[in-house]
C-alpha cells in the first residue's frame, strides 16, 4: 500500500489521529525536526518590545525610550533589546484613549523577573553560541517566552538548567515535578 502524504507536507487531522496524541513527536516534513510546543514560563508576564509598545501607543520608538528613561514605563534591558510589560503598555494606551493627559502608566502591573537573552543563556549554561537556547525553548525543553523574534529566559531558569546540565539532564523539569530540597 502506497503512503499518501498531504500536499506541501502539511499534517492532517487523519495523520494526527493515527499517531494518537503524539503529534509533538511527529517529524516536520520540511525541517525534519520534531514539531514540539514551546514551554511558556508562567512566571514571566506577557512582554512587548519597544517597537510593539510604540505601535500600541501610536508614537515613535524614541518616545517610548523617553518614557522608559523618565520612569513612566518600566522595562528591562535584555541583551541588546528592551522589553516592557504588555499590561502596562495597554493600560497606558487605554488611559490615553479615554482622554487622560500625560504619559504616566497606571500602576499595578506585575514586576518583570530578571531575564536573560539566548546568548546570555548559552554563556551561563555553557552551550555553544548559536541557536541552541532557542531550539531548547522551541522543543519545550526549557521554559521561556518569545518577544518578537527573541526568546527570553528567567535568570533563575538559566542558573538551574546550568546545574541540571552538569548533572547530565537535557531538559528542565516541570515546576510540579520539582521536589524542594530537604532542610
Question: Which stretches within 37-106 are classed as H helix?
Answer: 50-57, 61-70, 86-97
- CB under 8 Å to 27, separation ≥6 — which residues? 33, 34, 35
- Secondary structure letter of residue 27 according to DSSP: B
Q: What is the per-residue pLDDT for 173? A: 66
Residue found by looking up cell 487622560 in the block = 100
Q: What is the per-residue pLDDT for 94? A: 84
Q: What is the per-residue pLDDT for 29? A: 41
- If residue 19 lies in a helix (H) or strand (E), which one and from where to where? helix 13-19
pLDDT average per 10 residues of sequence, the chain (183 residues): 42 36 38 66 92 93 91 88 91 78 62 89 80 84 88 90 81 54 46
Residue found by looking up cell 537573552 in the block = 117
- Secondary structure letter of residue 59 according to DSSP: S
Q: What is the per-residue pLDDT for 135? A: 85
Q: CA-to-CA distance for 183 and 180, rounded, in angstroms?
A: 9
Residue found by looking up cell 495523520 in the block = 15
The secondary structure of 92-155, three-state, reads HHHHHHCCCCCCCCCCCCCCCCCEECHHHHHHHHCCCCCCHHHHHHHCCCCCEEEECCEEEEEH
Q: What is the per-residue pLDDT for 149? A: 85
Question: What's the pTM value of the predicted model, to 2 decimals?
Answer: 0.67
Amino acid at each position: 500500500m502506497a503512503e499518501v502524504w498531504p500536499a506541501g507536507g502539511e499534517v492532517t487531522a487523519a495523520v494526527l489521529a493515527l499517531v494518537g496524541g503524539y503529534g509533538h513527536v511527529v517529524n516536520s516534513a520540511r525541517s525534519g525536526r520534531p514539531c514540539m510546543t514551546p514551554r511558556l514560563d508562567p512566571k514571566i508576564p506577557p512582554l512587548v518590545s519597544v517597537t510593539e509598545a510604540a505601535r500600541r501607543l501610536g508614537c515613535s520608538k524614541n518616545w517610548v525610550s523617553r518614557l522608559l528613561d523618565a520612569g513612566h514605563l518600566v522595562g528591562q534591558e535584555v541583551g541588546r533589546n528592551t522589553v516592557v510589560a504588555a499590561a502596562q503598555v495597554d493600560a497606558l494606551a487605554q488611559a490615553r484613549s479615554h482622554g487622560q493627559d500625560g504619559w504616566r502608566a497606571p500602576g499595578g502591573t506585575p514586576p518583570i523577573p530578571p531575564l536573560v537573552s539566548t546568548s546570555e543563556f548559552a554563556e551561563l549554561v555553557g552551550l555553544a553560541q548559536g541557536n541552541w537556547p532557542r531550539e531548547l525553548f522551541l522543543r519545550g525543553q526549557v521554559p521561556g517566552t518569545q518577544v518578537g523574534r527573541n526568546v527570553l529566559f528567567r535568570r533563575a531558569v538559566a542558573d538551574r538548567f546550568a546545574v541540571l546540565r552538569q548533572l547530565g539532564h537535557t531538559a528542565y523539569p516541570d515546576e510540579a515535578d520539582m521536589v524542594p530540597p530537604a532542610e
